[in-house]
Amino acid sequence: MPKLKIAHIITQLELGGAQENTLYTVTHLDHRSYDCYLLAGKNGQLDNIAVRTLGAKAIFVPTLVRSIHPWKDLLALMAIYRVCRQEKFDLVHTHSSKAGILGRWAAKIAGVKKIIHTYHGFGFNDFQKPWTRFAFIWIERLTACITDTLILVSSENTKKALAAKIGKPGQYIVIHSGIKIKDYESLTIDKAMEKKKIGLPPAAPVIGMVACFKPQKAPLDFVRIARLVVAKIPLAQFIMIGDGELRPEIERLIQKLSLSDNVKVLGWRSDIPVMLKIMDVCVLTSLWEGLPRVILEAFVSRVPVVATPADGSREVIEDGVTGFLAGFHNMPEFAVKIIACLEDPEKAGKVIENAWKKISGSFDIDIMVQDIAHIYENTREDK
């Protein structure tokens, strides 16, 4: 049976669940059946890994940028089109909003027979101006017409897409975003020592957040939540793992609220499993999401999660059962639920066990890759 020649296209290989899962998929599909390429914009934190693992099959498109830029967007469309024409891909699989639009249209114009898109989240959200939201939805509706299969990482995302009249029910398949479960559940650490390494008192409760510092993740809310918790539990320590455009504002707010002794900004780290293990509570203040990878990682690390009810988060967190939900920008509610986790370890323990049972089946990253391969095989049969 001949190999399927496949291009995965994503806007940028930054540190994030969509990017890490896409790179894992490309490198772990059966290379006897699939010849995989990866196209992305430049200057992502995962660029070097892509080059190291894929060599010349990692193709960078400098004009593929995250923000809307009509001239660069046109050049990126043309560049992706040229690669598709030159390589004669059997299938193009796009990821993320910008690459999802430009990549699918470039593939269509180039004559690629099968086009798949994964929604790791949407370019539109309830916090945008109405006309901006409508414009994004309209573009997604139009582009869904040239797409064979639409993959979503949660059932909540499917409901949202269909409510926005994007595509048809028959186009949609849910494949949960996965993690390498065994890398988390088998990890043992010296918690006191790991705390000491990053300057935390061994006995202090630790509340952590792992996220890119951009408006979607609302990281400034995390700092404001810290002030409320510290007022009740002065020894509480908050760690922020990530980086991004809002970092200067975060650091200014920490100073303004006199939280320098309680809130540490650690930047991006390669030891996320270890950082999760030292947390007593994991927090996510996102305004919109696909299916947040860090929630799954916290579940497997046996750490209770307090998060907003953002899209896929609602799918895995049942409030008070598998985790805790707090309203968008509702800092007092977050603080109450974090404090409850710290003061009632017995209840937190029950929630942790429920969370583990919730994801121990279909959220493994290798199952995710198998499910994606199954879709590819169906397209082979359709040829």
**pLDDT tens digits along 159-201:** 999 999 999 999 999 999 889 888 888 889 999 999 999 999 9
169 and 203 together in one domain: no
Count Cβ atoms within 10 A of the Cβ of residue 361 and give its class: 0-12 exposed, 13-18 middle, 19 or more buried: exposed
243 and 372 together in one domain: no
Q: What percent of the chain has pLDDT over 70?
A: 99
Q: Minimal CA–CA distance to 160: which of 69, 289, 292, 247?
A: 289
pLDDT category of residue 128 using cuts at 50, 70 and 90: confident
pLDDT at 9 over 70: yes
Give the bridge partners for 210, in sequence order: 241
Q: How many domains in the chain?
A: 2
251 and 150 together in one domain: no
**72-to-94, 318, 361 alpha-carbon distances in Å:** 18, 43, 42
154 and 189 together in one domain: no
Range of the domain at 241: 181-359
Q: Minimal CA–CA distance to 9: which of 35, 36, 32, 40?
A: 40
153 and 190 together in one domain: no
172 and 189 together in one domain: no
172 and 205 together in one domain: no
> How do 305-307 and 281-284 pair as beta strands?
parallel
Structure tokens at 90: 């059997």
In this prediction, residue 383 carries a pLDDT of 54
d(CA 114, CA 25): 18
Give the bridge partners for 239, in sequence order: 208, 264
* Helix 17-28 with 365-382: angle, nearest 10 deg: 60
Q: What mean pLDDT is reported for the chain? A: 94
87 and 66 together in one domain: yes
CB 18 within 8 A of CB 290: yes
185 Cβ contact partners less than 8 Å away, ≥ 6 residues apart: 300
Note the pTM of the prediction, 2 decimals: 0.91
Q: Minimal CA–CA distance to 157: which of 328, 355, 315?
A: 315
Task: Output the CA angle 155-288-212, nearest 5 degrees.
Answer: 120
Determine the straight-line distance between the first and last CA of the chain, rounded to whole angstroms.
13
Instruction: For residue range 283-321, list pLDDT tens digits in order.
Output: 999 999 888 999 999 999 999 999 999 988 998 999 999
58 and 171 together in one domain: yes
- What's the one-letter identity of residue 22? T
d(CA 114, CA 116): 7
pLDDT at 382 over 70: no
User: Which three-class secondary structure state does DSSP give residue 44?
Assistant: coil
CB 40 within 8 A of CB 12: yes
Q: Which helix (H) or strand (E) holds 172?
A: strand 172-174
**Residue 224 is part of a domain; what is its CATH number?**
3.40.50.2000
pLDDT category of residue 381 using cuts at 50, 70 and 90: low
Q: What percent of the chain has pLDDT over 90?
A: 85
333 and 187 together in one domain: yes
**100-to-28, 137, 304 alpha-carbon distances in Å:** 22, 13, 34
168 and 191 together in one domain: no
92 and 190 together in one domain: no
d(CA 107, CA 109): 6
